[in-house]
Amino acid sequence: MTYYRLESETQTAQVALKQQQQGEIWGAPAWGSETPKVKAYVGELPDGKNGVEFTTDTPPDRGCPPGQAFWSGPRDGVEVTGNYARIRVTVTRNTQG
């Protein structure tokens, strides 16, 4: 399965390069939540959009909204460090920077 994250205030070109080099993506709690989670969209990065496209061996959480994928933990494949969840990934496309 392929996933992507769009360029944003937190998904900067510098962060995208680090994700590509380190092979992992980190995620903080969503606004109003205390649970750290990696957040992404399902599918390929849309043409003309800046972001990162990736694959991972770790399945997303159950019950995600259609078209979205979340990884929270701790659980197999999702490590929680402080206020961040992280998963191992292979970045297959980076259109940032």
- In 10 A of CB 30, how many CB atoms? 13
| Nearest of 76, 66, 85 to residue 24 by alpha carbon | 85
pLDDT in tens, 19-46: 999 999 999 998 899 999 999 999 999 9
Q: CA–CA separation, 44 vs 47, rounded Å?
A: 9
Q: Would you list the domain boundaries of the chain?
A: 2-94
Residue 52: what pLDDT?
A: 98
* 40-56: average pLDDT: 98
Task: Indicate the pTM of the whole model.
Answer: 0.94
Q: Rounded mean pLDDT of the chain?
A: 97
Cα angle: 21, vertex 27, 32; to 5 degrees? 160
- Amino acid identity for residue 93 in this structure: R
